[in-house]
Each structure stands twice: as structure tokens, then as C-alpha cells.
């Protein structure tokens, strides 16, 4: 009896997830409009609390209203495109490799150069800058390789939201 109830709850949960994504796909435009409004309110709230300056708020607000429609178009194109596999490879290797490489680069540079206990902390500033720039190559290379392996393992599928049929 208890197993049946658990199975029934699991089926209902899966159906609720499917209906949520179906409703989400139907209301995609309204979700984006809501994100524009929330983003703009957040920028101005940060300004009024004194965290960011007025020029930054104006720049971010303009950027929000210029970039977000392009993002909306890109995601709609991605959901309906024949080239999902190529776009997913670009997203994994390009964007994911960049973000992971930046994290690796910051961690290794701080561990080798910037921390007070770092082995290369006492080097002259010019040499430290050169080493810092040279650390970018292996860190981004390792990150791209890691993201390539992850993408290949997942068969180049991104989040499931983009693969749900309308």
C-alpha cells in the first residue's frame, strides 16, 4: 500500500513538472518581460541603497533593454533550430570553458603570485605580470578540455528546458 502511494506521488510529480514546462513555454514572452522589469527595479534599488553609482545604473538599465530582447530571440532560435548540437558545443566549450578557465586562472594566480604565502610573491611586478598573463594559456586550455569532456559525456545536451517541444 505504501509503495503504491509513493509510485502515485512520483507519477503526479512528473506530470506536474511536464505541465509546468508546458505552461512556461506558452508564457515565455511574459516571463521575459517580467525579468526585464525585475532587473530594472533591482538596478535602481541598488542605486537607492548606495551600492552602485547613478551612471552604472543608467548603463545597466539601457544594457538590460538592449541585450535582453536579443537573448530572447537567441533562446527562441535555439529551441527551434536544426543546429542545436553545434550551438550546444559552442555553449559548452566557449562559454563554459571561459567561465571555468577564469575561475581556474584566478585561483592559480592568487595561489602562486598574489597571496602573502605564495611562492612567487616576492618577484618584481613586471615579472609577476608576465607570469600572470602566461598562466591564462594553460588554465583556459584545461578548462576547455574539461568542458569538452563534460559535453561529450552528456551528448552535447544543455538544460532540458530547451529540448521540450512546444
Q: Domain segments of the chain: what residues?
A: 1-80, 82-166
> Tens digit of pLDDT for each residue in 140-165?
999 999 999 988 888 877 655 444 44
> What is the share, in percent, of the chain residues with pLDDT greater than 90?
30
What single DSSP character describes residue 158?
Answer: -
pLDDT at 12: 66
CA 1-12-9 angle, to 5 degrees, is: 30
Alpha helices per DSSP H over the chain = 2-26, 28-48, 54-80, 84-89, 97-109, 125-134, 136-153
> Tens digit of pLDDT for each residue in 83-130?
777 877 888 888 889 999 999 999 999 899 888 888 888 899 999 899
C-alpha cell of residue 161: 528546458
**Long-range contacts for 17-26 (Cβ within 8 Å, ≥24 apart)?**
21/161, 21/164, 22/164, 24/161, 25/164, 25/166
C-alpha cell of residue 128: 609577476
Q: Which residue has the higher pLDDT, 142 or 9?
A: 142
Amino acid at each position: 500500500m505504501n509503495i503504491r502511494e509513493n509510485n502515485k506521488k512520483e507519477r503526479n510529480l512528473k506530470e506536474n513538472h511536464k505541465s509546468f514546462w508546458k505552461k512556461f513555454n506558452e508564457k515565455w514572452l511574459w516571463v521575459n518581460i517580467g525579468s526585464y522589469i525585475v532587473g530594472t527595479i533591482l538596478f535602481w534599488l541598488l542605486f537607492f541603497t548606495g551600492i552602485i553609482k547613478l551612471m552604472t545604473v543608467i548603463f545597466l538599465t539601457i544594457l538590460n533593454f538592449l541585450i535582453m530582447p536579443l537573448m530572447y530571440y537567441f533562446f527562441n532560435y535555439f529551441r527551434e533550430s536544426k543546429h542545436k548540437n553545434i550551438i550546444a558545443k559552442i555553449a559548452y566549450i566557449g562559454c563554459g570553458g571561459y567561465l571555468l578557465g577564469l575561475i581556474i586562472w584566478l585561483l592559480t594566480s592568487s595561489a602562486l603570485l598574489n597571496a602573502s604565502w605564495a611562492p612567487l610573491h616576492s618577484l618584481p611586478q613586471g615579472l609577476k605580470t608576465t607570469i600572470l598573463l602566461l598562466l591564462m594559456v594553460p588554465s583556459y586550455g584545461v578548462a576547455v578540455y574539461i568542458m569538452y569532456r563534460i559535453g561529450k559525456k552528456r551528448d552535447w545536451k544543455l538544460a532540458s528546458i530547451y529540448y521540450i517541444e512546444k
